[in-house]
Amino acid sequence: MSDKNNLLLLFDRPQEPVFMPKGDQRKAFAVPPEYLSDKYRPIGTQVTTRFGEEASERIPVKRISIPPLGEILELSRDSNFSLFIPKHRKIAGRLIDIFLGVRNVDDLLAVAVYARDRVNPLLFNYALSVALLHRADTQDLDVPSIIHSFPDKYVDSKVFSKAREDATVVPEGSRMPIEIPRDYTASDLEEEHRLAYFREDIGLNLHHWHWHLVYPFEAARQIVDKNRRGELFYYMHQQIVSRYNFERLCNNMQRVERFINWDGPIKEAYFPKLDSLVASRAWPPRVTGQKLQNLRREVDGINLDVDDMKRWKDRIYNAIHSGVVRDRTGKDIQLTENEGIDVLGNLVESSILSTNRDFYGDLHNTGHIMLSYIHDPDHRHLESFGVIGDSATAMRDPIFYRWHGFIDDLFQEFKATLPRYTENQLNNPGVTVQSIEVDVAGGGRNVLQTFWQQSDVDLSRGMDFQPRGSVFVRFTHLQHRPFTYKIGVQSNQAREGTCRIFLAPKFDERGNPWLFRDQRLQFIELDKFKVNLRQGQNTITRSSADSSVTIPFERTYRDLDTSRPQGGDALAQFNFCGCGWPDNLLIPKGSPEGFACQLFVMISNIADDRINQDPAGQCNDADSYCGIKDKLYPDRRSMGYPFDRMPRDGVDTLQQFLTPNMRVQDVSIKFENRTFKPREGNN
């Protein structure tokens, strides 16, 4: 069997022909003449000989019977690709199934080499990434981050002309990083631009892209039907909305306004300032005051009315309030207390797991489609979709958060129908949290500190038909100083427990204390981990770097060759650990004077938390948002517990909600408006 790492070379310079040398070692595939695309087949011998001679190694490619690609080829190579478009996700599912269905790595390499120069590059990248993540014989490969293949989705379009100049003129060792200004999509005349540092954060958008790789919604059922998938769709996006609202309050802005008036104008504009190098077009903007319109786009196979969305919404609300959904056979399925949210999540998204897509529709995805084509609903101007139509770029647009504000409101409508948690369901008898302290690196107690950090990322692997060698861009992002929790706990016996840590703003946008029913939705999860308590006094210490929500900064921007771990099991988990919130955004921005927050700590009863499964091979980096590869979600409680339901009677404030195994500590987030140069070794 050939080296399966050769599959990763297919992500390198995605628009260059497959026979050209790939990677830093300049390896070339020995492509059989019949595998060459129609464009190169007439001159196959000349080009393969020429580029083969330039290569350090020639990789043999088997001749096998290639499954017919059929409708997969209907998406042209110069088109954009979107998971939200039904036609696109159908052909993506077909290509994923082809890659999953071949017998071994050699056959996979052969099919992928054949497909690479025929299939749309964005579609190919997505389908091969999903297949490598889910095949038993390739899941130990380090699937490259999409920023390395398609950097145009993440950086100012002006960068590429400078990058081409540097790559052509400046020797590799002498190239300086190309600096991207922090404010390049708008000025402060646009109020929403205050949040650009968050929405346009590269790691944030990579998280959203990678989550949808791990949780595809159209492919073979065995890779879509993951444990509590629908609930995780709800919870991951609920936390995004809560976090966005946190950032808005830090910037003296109101919480996001749900997008519920589908007939009215959208006040927010967005001009992405991105070029699509595959489609050779700039990403279209959305100007102020545009309205949703019926879509008639034959080229995309889309024929949708705004009224379709309204019907689906009404049917979903009716299901929530009746407590049942109807499946395709007309049978009623109960939305139960614990499993109902999972059924609802799959239905709203909607994945192939939807109980009845014909009746309840495709609400979440269609919202993305409607918004992404708002500038050209009938294709009269031959325009492609806007950034909200691509999972790799959607979070850049302010309307993403308004749309997901509405989607989350659907889920909260269901959560409000569930029984309230009783004191017994919240308490952990015999356990008392006595104290909470946060120690920040470099001094300071209970004052979290944020600042601007510059970092470098290499774009060269995505720069087709350019001279070889590294081309770095330097971008500025939010960062926080590392900190440590110190939690004092009294226990009447030795036991295990689950420590749950959340953070929320202390006051609302008017500066008033919250009612608990509102504040509970503002809590963002910072960490969740198992603790071993001994009888008597305990001090729990935990580093912010160990958060169950985040992945390390270096992994978000990892270099393909220098940061791959050694050894089977660590390597097998490296892919999945690519899914997670970026560590640099663990803590909201805060304010220069110090933004008042409440840090919540709970030690819950392990008997109601524990999932009995073999922990071997677990990836613990970001299981709160991403689960654990090929295993059950590692917490039996509802996601977001204890804040995922309305409070019990008599609870109007956070203090009234607390039981002895919980405690709240006032902390503040102090933002220092300074920019620090890249850290040593950040490249």
Residues marked as catalytic? 349
Q: Is 27 left (phi over 0), alpha (psi -120 to 50) or beta?
A: beta
Distance CA(383)–CA(379), nearest Å, equals 6
Distance CA(554)–CA(545), nearest Å, equals 12
Sheet holding 178-179, edge to edge: 178-179, 472-480, 447-458, 662-676, 595-605, 495-505, 524-533
Residue 411: phi and psi, rounded to 5, are: -65, -40
**What is the CB-side half-sphere exposure of residue 78 using CA atoms within 13 A?**
5
186, with CB counted inside 10 A (0-12, 13-18, 19+), is middle
Q: Which of 30, 152, 17, 35 is nearest to 77 (CA)?
A: 17
Q: Which of 260, 263, 273 is nearest to 157 (CA)?
A: 273
Q: Which of 306, 274, 300, 301 is nearest to 387 (CA)?
A: 274
For 287, residues 6+ apart whose C-beta sits below 8 A from its C-beta are 269, 375
For 230, residues 6+ apart whose C-beta sits below 8 A from its C-beta are 341, 342, 343, 344, 345, 346, 347, 348, 349, 351, 353
Q: Which of 43, 32, 144 is nearest to 561 (CA)?
A: 144
Residue 15: phi and psi, rounded to 5, are: -100, -10
Q: Which of 476, 508, 507 is nearest to 673 (CA)?
A: 476
What 3-state class would DSSP assign to 457? strand
| Tokens 């120069």 belong to residue | 117
Residue 58: phi and psi, rounded to 5, are: -105, 125
- DSSP string over 274-318: -EETTTTEEPPPB-TTB----EEEGGGTEEE-HHHHHHHHHHHHH
Distance CA(167)–CA(463), nearest Å, equals 10
Q: Is 538 left (phi over 0), alpha (psi -120 to 50) or beta?
A: beta
Q: Are 360 and 315 contacting, i.e. CB atoms less than 8 angstroms apart?
A: yes
SS3 content of the chain, % helix, strand, coil (to 5): 35, 20, 45
β-pair partners for 276: 281
Other CB atoms closer than 10 Å to residue 46's CB: what's the count?
Answer: 10
Tell me the CA distances in angstroms from 150 to 35, 183, 587, one per residue in order.
25, 21, 28
Q: Are 95 and 75 contacting, i.e. CB atoms less than 8 angstroms apart?
A: no
Exposed e or buried b per residue across 557-577, where buried means at least 16 C-beta atoms within 10 angstroms of its C-beta: bbbbeeeeeeeeeeebbbbbb
End-to-end alpha-carbon separation of the chain, Å?
33
